[in-house]
């Protein structure tokens, strides 16, 4: 039951903006202050963790600390209004308030640290450890979502499969350290030329896949030619005898499933390999020409 509540809470607030979360936290803080005033001597400090944790988890650590101070101010105001002067003047009264602040502060820091570690774990689980590009599993998940969106809004989608020619020779002659540096250079070159909405994944040792949402055939053709030129220039700058075989397919609307889209791009890439490597083969999959319009 607790896990179900947690998951629903995360789903609810993850889709909200930081401003919305802050507003909700402030509202909860005000309601707690009013309830605290009505209940009098009953301590509600544990319930102040709710707005503090929301701010720390869904906004930032500094915001969580700010809400710790706001919670303390709320508690202090309520205590001033409900506690007699003689009780407020004792050292025990202020000691208790300091302990409450420390409790909220520690919990806020724990929440923010937990969120940071969770985000780091998700990044590691979804990324290739060498290049930082998405791994195969994460790419399939994102591509499935993008293809569904493409089908819903009838947007064109392009996917490109890139294989590094002669990469094995680099590892054999120059060593794996140079091979790793080359793969990182490839990733950086592609990343610096794609849009924020485009998705790059390292599929295998020397294979990369790029998803281009909302990209029709003409725009995709120009983009892929640019990418291939940029990659070749990057290889030439380091005197690496590596070229790139690229197979790409554009679906104007309603592309098939993820497996079929990737399989089609992969087949085109291997067709380039068989015909001499270092080339781009890009087609538009249309019903009227059975997917044979080539660029």
Q: Convert the pLDDT of each residue in 173-194 to its tens digit.
A: 999 999 999 999 999 999 999 9
pLDDT of residue 289: 46
Between 114 and 164, the higher pLDDT residue: 164
Write out pLDDT tens, residues 210-251. Answer: 999 999 999 999 999 999 999 999 999 999 999 999 999 999
pLDDT of residue 256: 74
Secondary structure letter of residue 203 according to DSSP: -
Taking residues 49-77, what's their average pLDDT? 86
- Fold classification of 136-294 is Alpha-Beta Plaits (3.30.70)
Task: Give Rg (Cα) of the chain.
Answer: 28
Lowest mean pLDDT among 120-129, 142-151, 228-237, 253-262: 120-129
The gap between the terminal CA atoms of the chain, to the nearest Å, is 56
Q: Would you kindly state where each structural domain of the chain is located, as residue ranges?
A: 2-126, 136-294
Rounded-to-integer distance, Cα 71 and Cα 161, Å: 54
Taking residues 189-217, what's their average pLDDT? 93
85 has pLDDT over 70: no
Mean pLDDT of the chain: 84
Phi, psi of 156 (to 5 degrees): -75, 145
**Which of 125, 127, 106 shows the shortest CA–CA distance to 117?**
125
Asked whether the whole model's pTM tops 0.85, one would answer: no
pLDDT of residue 294: 62
Taking residues 115-125, what's their average pLDDT? 68
pLDDT of residue 281: 94
pLDDT of residue 288: 45
């Amino acid at each position: 039951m607790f896990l179900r509540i947690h998951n629903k809470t995360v789903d609810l607030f993850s889709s909200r903006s930081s401003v919305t979360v802050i507003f909700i936290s402030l509202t909860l803080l005000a309601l707690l202050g009013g309830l605290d005033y009505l209940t009098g001597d009953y301590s509600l400090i544990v319930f102040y963790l709710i707005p503090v944790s929301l701010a720390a988890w869904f906004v930032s650590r500094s915001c969580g600390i700010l809400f710790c101070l706001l919670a303390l101010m709320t508690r202090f105001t309520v205590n001033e209004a409900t506690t007699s002067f003689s009780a407020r003047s004792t050292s025990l009264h202020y000691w208790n308030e300091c302990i409450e602040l420390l409790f909220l502060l520690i919990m806020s820091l724990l929440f923010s640290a937990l969120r940071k570690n969770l985000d780091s774990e998700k990044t590691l689980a979804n990324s290739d450890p060498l290049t930082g590009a998405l791994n195969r599993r994460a790419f399939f998940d994102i591509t499935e979502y993008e293809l569904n969106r493409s089908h819903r809004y009838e947007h064109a989608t392009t996917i490109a499969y890139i294989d590094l020619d002669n990469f094995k020779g680099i590892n054999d002659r120059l060593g794996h350290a140079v091979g790793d540096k080359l793969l990182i250079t490839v990733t950086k070159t592609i990343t610096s030329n794609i849009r924020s909405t485009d998705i790059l994944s390292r599929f295998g040792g020397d294979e990369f896949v790029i998803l281009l949402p909302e990209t029709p055939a003409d725009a995709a053709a120009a983009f892929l030619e640019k990418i291939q030129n940029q990659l070749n220039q990057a290889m030439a700058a380091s005197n690496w005898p590596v070229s790139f075989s690229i197979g790409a397919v554009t679906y104007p609307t309603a592309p098939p499933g993820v497996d079929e889209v990737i399989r089609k791009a992969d087949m085109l890439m291997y067709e380039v390999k068989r015909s001499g490597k270092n080339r781009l083969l890009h087609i538009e999959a249309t019903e009227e020409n059975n997917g044979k319009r080539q660029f």
